[in-house]
């Protein structure tokens, strides 16, 4: 596949980048295509590349010593991920990046990005915006996990995922994620997720299918998320 450099303006971090820089990035990077369930990198690998997702979807997961996983973020097209290495030159990836479907991503050497940052203020600003957004999201999720009950957390998780990787089809938003993914993203278990989603389906809030959740009544979910439980 060929990348059209102009497309890179869709990447938030690069929205103010001049075309010549986009050309430079495409020229200096390589396109890595991987199949479903494969990894771009593992937790602990030296952070040699930053990535821009070109096609597919990728999740960033972290495992504890016992092997239990949490989903920290789901990446969609034209999102940059693993930019950490560009900032901490000695760093290893603190997460693993696993493809949710066949995917391809531009791999940019951390070194290249670092050099570009020396002389391009827009790149610094873009990366900082990205990072502050991450920090705020993680702080919110941490607070939710510490203080909210599962049902509410699930509603918050699904709303968040919908805004990040939801797909609009026929006026409805669809999440192409398995219940396992939802469980790992909300800090719960597949059993509780299944039970809760079934309950919501009965109430007409959502529609579930294998590896798929359709939001029928987003407002109802917002009410659950905010604790305006009608039940």
Interface residues with a copy of itself (CB under 8 A) are 62, 64-66, 68, 70, 72, 84, 87-88, 91, 94-95, 117-118, 121, 124-125, 127-129, 131-132, 134-136, 138-148, 187, 226-227
The tokens for 114 are: 């670092």
Rounded CA separation 175/177 (Å): 6
Least distance from a copy of itself to the Cβ atom of residue 104, Å = 25
Q: Is 195 in the site for DNA (CB under 7 A)?
A: yes
- Residue environment code for 94-125, b if the CB has 16+ CB neighbours within 10 A, otherwise e: ebbbbbbeebebbbbbbebbeebbeebeebee
Least distance from a copy of itself to the Cβ atom of residue 30, Å = 24
Rounded CA separation 82/113 (Å): 12
Pick one of 208, 214, 216, 217: the residue that binds DNA (CB under 7 A): 208
Question: Residue holding tokens 């070109």?
Answer: 54
Pick one of 114, 164, 172, 180: the residue that binds DNA (CB under 7 A): 180
Nearer to a copy of itself by Cβ, of 99 and 183: the residue is 183
* 209 CB neighbour count, 10 Å cutoff: 9
Q: Is 178 in the site for DNA (CB under 7 A)?
A: yes
Rounded CA separation 76/165 (Å): 6
Rounded CA separation 106/202 (Å): 43
Rounded CA separation 85/93 (Å): 7
The tokens for 158 are: 């699904």
Q: Is 174 in the site for DNA (CB under 7 A)?
A: no
The tokens for 7 are: 């497309």
Q: Is 198 in the site for DNA (CB under 7 A)?
A: yes
**Considering CB distances under 5 to 8 angstroms, the limit depending on partner class, which of a copy of itself, DNA, none binds residue 209?**
DNA
Least distance from DNA to the Cβ atom of residue 186, Å = 8
Q: Is 157 in the site for DNA (CB under 7 A)?
A: no
The tokens for 5 are: 């450099």
Binding segment for DNA (CB under 7 A), chosen from 88-96, 158-166, 201-209, 221-229, is 201-209
Nearer to a copy of itself by Cβ, of 46 and 227: the residue is 227
Nearer to DNA by Cβ, of 1 and 146: the residue is 146
**Which residues are bridge partners to 49 per DSSP?**
109
Q: Is 171 in the site for DNA (CB under 7 A)?
A: no
Note the residues at the interface with DNA (CB under 7 A): 149-151, 178-180, 187-192, 194-195, 197-198, 201, 208-211
């Amino acid at each position: 596949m060929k990348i059209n450099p102009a497309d890179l303006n869709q990447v938030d971090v690069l929205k103010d980048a001049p075309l010549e820089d986009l050309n430079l990035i495409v020229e200096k990077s390589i396109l890595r295509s991987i199949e479903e369930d494969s990894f771009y990198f593992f937790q602990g690998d030296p952070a040699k590349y930053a990535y821009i997702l070109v096609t597919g979807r990728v999740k960033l997961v972290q495992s504890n010593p016992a092997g239990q996983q949490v989903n920290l973020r789901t990446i969609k097209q034209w999102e940059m991920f693993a930019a950490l290495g560009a900032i901490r030159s000695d760093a290893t990836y603190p997460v693993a990046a696993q493809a949710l479907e066949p995917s391809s991503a531009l791999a940019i050497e951390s070194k290249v990005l670092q050099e570009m940052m020396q002389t391009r203020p827009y790149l610094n600003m873009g990366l900082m915006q990205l990072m502050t957004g991450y920090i705020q999201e993680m702080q919110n999720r941490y607070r939710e996990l510490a203080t909210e009950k599962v049902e509410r957390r699930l509603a918050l998780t699904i709303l968040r995922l919908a805004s990040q990787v939801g797909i609009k089809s026929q006026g409805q938003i669809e999440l192409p994620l398995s219940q396992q993914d939802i469980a790992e993203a909300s800090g719960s278990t597949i059993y509780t997720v299944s039970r809760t989603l079934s309950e919501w389906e009965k109430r007409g809030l959502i529609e579930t299918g294998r590896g798929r959740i359709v939001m029928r009544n987003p407002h109802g979910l917002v009410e659950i998320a905010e604790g305006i439980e009608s039940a």
